[in-house]
Amino acid sequence: MAVYMLIFFAALGIALVGTPVAQRVALRAGFVQNPSARRVHTSPTPLLGGAAIYLAFVAALLLANNRPPAEYRQLAGILVGATLMALVGLWDDRYSLPAAVKMGGQIIAATVVIWSGIQVEFLHNEVLNLLASYLWLVGVSNAINFLDNMDGLAGGTVAIACAFFFLLAATNDQILVASLSAALLGACVGFLRYNFNQARIFMGDTGTLFLGLVVAALGIKLRFENQAIVTWMIPVMVLGLPLFDTTLVVISRLRRRVNPFTTAGKDHTSHRLVDLGLSKREAVLALYNVCFVFGMASLFLLNATIFEGYVTGAMVAAICLLALYRLEFARKTVPH
């Protein structure tokens, strides 16, 4: 446990120191996001917060050599894939890549992770497992990217997810997942010091795509002795909020006959909570609580029987469907 604490506090300290540096570099290099009708911030805000998160994450891992030798290939796969994702995001932050090019970079990064041996296995069919691995890695990466729509939301959501991944991994002696989770948790918490409302810096696609790929890989890498027919739901629960938000936005935009992946808008879960009367800070804190509830459900699934697991999954799915209906189909106003 002492090693995990070292990793966490190292990442936290480096992010606290590195984020203001990234802020200054972003201003000088022109990595700035300007206000627009489809964004909630009202003044030009520097990007490159994701670069600070990335550096804090990698530097903290280098401080502790507590990984089993058998997992070095998987660690390398995650780091190389995540680095590719960060570079794709960095380029997109600066030059706004075409959607096809951006997706191509994400698929290459996911391929590196899968090549390292991290892929879905519970479907018992090689082709289905491979397709599910790509869908999960690319899908979660974009879900975190979608969720970065209000100060502190994406960083806080990933931090909470990493806290639960750490608990799940540490209690099951999964050293690699616990180490990566501790490093990412510390980096995100350090970054949130400057990103929570009112944000002084954004993580940009550099951060969201990087964070998305790492947490997606952690979800696949988690292994449990309990029935795989139940425990496959655990990472889905932990990342329930970004998956719900992406589903809501895609359905909403398809209903309005706009491209869900190239059109920005104030139609995310957080924006709808603000429309219901919450402040931006209150909306983000409310969604943090939702993340915590999802995480607690994942802990219950850890030792659940097949019946208990699927009853829990069905209840959570029903609540999500009701929330989706209330936020999308029962709205009196059309999202911007």
pLDDT tens readout for residues 129-166: 999 999 999 999 999 999 999 999 999 999 999 999 99
Helices (H), 148-260: 153-170, 175-195, 204-221, 228-231, 233-238, 240-255
pLDDT of 40 reads 56
Q: What is the mean pLDDT of residues 79-97?
A: 93
Mean pLDDT of the chain: 89
Tell me the angle at which helices 240-255 and 126-147 cross, rounded to the nearest 10 degrees.
80
- CA distances 27 to 16, 39, 204, 270, 292, Å, are 18, 19, 14, 28, 35
Domains contained in the chain, number: 1
Whether the Cβ atoms of residue 144 and residue 244 lie closer than 8 Å to each other? no
The range of the structural domain enclosing residue 210 comes to 2-329
What is the rounded CA–CA span in Å between residue 287 and residue 309? 24
**Is residue 54 assigned to a domain?**
yes
**Is residue 307 assigned to a domain?**
yes
**Is residue 10 assigned to a domain?**
yes
Look up residue 168 and give its two tokens. 């799940």
- CA distances 31 to 22, 36, 95, 296, 323, Å, are 10, 16, 10, 38, 36
Higher-scoring residue by pLDDT: 231, 86: 86
**Is residue 334 assigned to a domain?**
no
**Is residue 45 assigned to a domain?**
yes
**Is residue 95 assigned to a domain?**
yes
Lowest mean pLDDT among 45-54, 111-120, 260-269: 260-269
Higher-scoring residue by pLDDT: 266, 162: 162
What is the rounded CA–CA span in Å between residue 26 and residue 202? 10
**Is residue 167 assigned to a domain?**
yes
**Is residue 251 assigned to a domain?**
yes
Position 303 pLDDT exceeds 90: no
Position 39 pLDDT exceeds 70: no
